[in-house]
């Protein structure tokens, strides 16, 4: 099979799922057909009652670049990504990408992400670079909450990241190996903040590039009040732990 994107060498795209049967098949097909043989996809499914895992298993029978970790129940976004990271490190992938299953992240942007990852340790697809807001289909209250969370995070932590809660990003595997993943406890949006913060405090380079975030058109959002509350206090925890040199 000829390479369609030679720069996507030894890359794993980790996609957590819970009730994403309406989105995941199309997304898998687009990812695997658009990039070279060295880009693989890992689904981490939390025992979706809608049959997401069974749908993925059928595709795995025809596609060797598709992998899945099935979990016994809904265990949270953060732990799903940690399992995906560990899988990627064990299998020797050079780059590991986080991506949502609901098409809010445009698969075509992976090419630009991987190009920037050639010279950066962590690449973040940002919705909020400068004074530009690249979000489609969000209600005003959701947008205000997200922008306020970004400002709040930067103010408390000092981390120079415009979109600290964004979930479309690419890590260099060598960076993940330096982090103690067993100590990452955050879930939801605070997981993204904590991972960025740990990378930044280690002195690794972080690059943001603009993406357009389009809210899901099918399925249900996994955002909860619990996620918001956790993000509010987690930034203070990160700051204090850093001051005590306990991160």
Q: Confidence band (pLDDT; 50, 70, 90) for 189?
A: confident
CATH classification code of 11-243: 3.90.550.10
What share of the chain has pLDDT > 90, as a percent? 74
* Residue with tokens 């819970």, as numbered in its chain: 18
The strand ranges marked E within the chain are 11-17, 39-45, 66-70, 95-98, 122-126, 135-136, 169-172, 206-210, 213-214
Q: Confidence band (pLDDT; 50, 70, 90) for 1?
A: very low
Q: Confidence band (pLDDT; 50, 70, 90) for 242?
A: very high
Lowest mean pLDDT among 6-15, 66-75, 94-103, 238-247: 6-15
Average pLDDT, the chain: 90
* CA distances (Å), origin 31, targets 13, 54, 150, 190: 9, 19, 29, 27
Lowest mean pLDDT among 8-12, 63-67, 75-79, 193-197: 8-12
Confidence (pLDDT) at 232: 84
* CA distances (Å), origin 175, targets 13, 170, 179, 194, 232: 16, 11, 7, 14, 26
Q: Confidence band (pLDDT; 50, 70, 90) for 4?
A: very low
> Does residue 246 surpass a pLDDT of 90?
no
41 near 31, Cβ under 8 Å? yes
> Does residue 5 surpass a pLDDT of 50?
no
135 near 127, Cβ under 8 Å? yes
Q: Which residue has the higher pLDDT, 131 or 205?
A: 205
- Residue ranges of domains in the chain: 11-243
Distance CA(98)–CA(14), nearest Å, equals 5
- Taking only the tens place, the pLDDT of each residue in 116-166 is 999 999 999 999 987 778 888 888 888 888 889 899 999 999 999 999 999
- Taking only the tens place, the pLDDT of each residue in 84-126 is 999 999 999 999 999 999 999 999 999 999 999 999 999 999 9
- Quick one: average pLDDT of 54-72? 97
Confidence (pLDDT) at 3: 42
Q: Which residue has the higher pLDDT, 199 or 147?
A: 199
Q: In sequence order, which residues have a C-beta less than 8 Å from that of residue 25 and are 6 or more positions away?
A: 55, 59
Q: Confidence band (pLDDT; 50, 70, 90) for 8?
A: very low
- Quick one: average pLDDT of 190-200? 97
Confidence (pLDDT) at 6: 41
pTM above 0.85, yes or no: yes
* Residue with tokens 């405090």, as numbered in its chain: 201
Confidence (pLDDT) at 171: 98
Cα–chain center distance at 99: 4
Confidence (pLDDT) at 79: 95
């Amino acid at each position: 099979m000829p390479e369609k994107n030679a720069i996507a060498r030894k890359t794993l795209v980790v996609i957590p799922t819970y009730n994403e049967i309406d989105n995941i098949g199309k997304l898998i097909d687009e990812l695997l057909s658009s990039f070279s043989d060295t880009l693989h996809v890992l689904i981490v499914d939390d025992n979706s009652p809608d049959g997401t895992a069974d749908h993925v298993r059928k595709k795995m029978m025809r596609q060797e670049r598709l992998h899945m970790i099935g979990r016994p129940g809904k265990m949270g976004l953060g732990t799903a990504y940690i399992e995906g990271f560990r899988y990627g490190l064990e299998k020797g992938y050079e780059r590991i990408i986080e991506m949502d299953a609901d098409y809010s992240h445009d698969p075509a942007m992976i090419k630009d992400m991987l190009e920037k990852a050639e010279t950066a340790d962590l690449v973040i697809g940002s919705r909020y670079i400068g004074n530009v807001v690249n979000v489609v289909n969000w209600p005003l209250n959701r947008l205000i909450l997200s922008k306020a969370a970004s400002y709040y995070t930067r103010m408390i932590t000092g981390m120079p990241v415009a979109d600290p809660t964004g979930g479309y990003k690419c890590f260099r595997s060598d960076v993940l190996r330096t982090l103690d993943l067993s100590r990452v406890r955050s879930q939801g949006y605070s997981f993204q903040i904590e991972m960025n913060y740990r990378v930044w405090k280690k002195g690794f380079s972080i690059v943001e590039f603009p993406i357009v975030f389009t809210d899901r058109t099918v399925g249900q959002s996994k955002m909860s009040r619990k996620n918001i509350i956790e993000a509010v206090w987690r930034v203070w925890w990160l700051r204090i732990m850093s001051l005590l040199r306990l991160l």
